[in-house]
Amino acid sequence: MSEAGLRSILVNGRNYVRVKGKWVYLYGAVDKAGKTLDFMLSKRRNKAAATKFLIAHSK
């Protein structure tokens, strides 16, 4: 998937979830059918790192 295509489906880290008692940002990529391709949890909002991670893991 191209970076431009992935960018349009990237969840931008506004999802703040609790995992094992700690709050983290949830980044994820979904396809057009709504299926989750990959996700990343992060202590800090870092869209650039999430984009790199998701591009690397969606190929």
Q: Which two tokens stand for residue 56?
A: 């690397």
Torsion from C-alpha of 59, 54, 12, 21, nearest 10 degrees: 140
Whole-number pLDDT of residue 8: 46
- Residues 25, 11: Cα–Cα separation, whole Å: 10
Q: What is the pTM of this model?
A: 0.63
Instruction: Give the contacts of 34 (CB within 8 A, at least 6 positions apart).
Output: none
Domain ranges of the chain: 3-57
- How far is the C-alpha of 35 from the C-alpha of 50, rounded, in Å? 18
- The tens digit of pLDDT for each residue in 27-44 reads 877 777 777 778 888 888
What is the enclosing helix (H) or strand (E) of 10? Answer: none
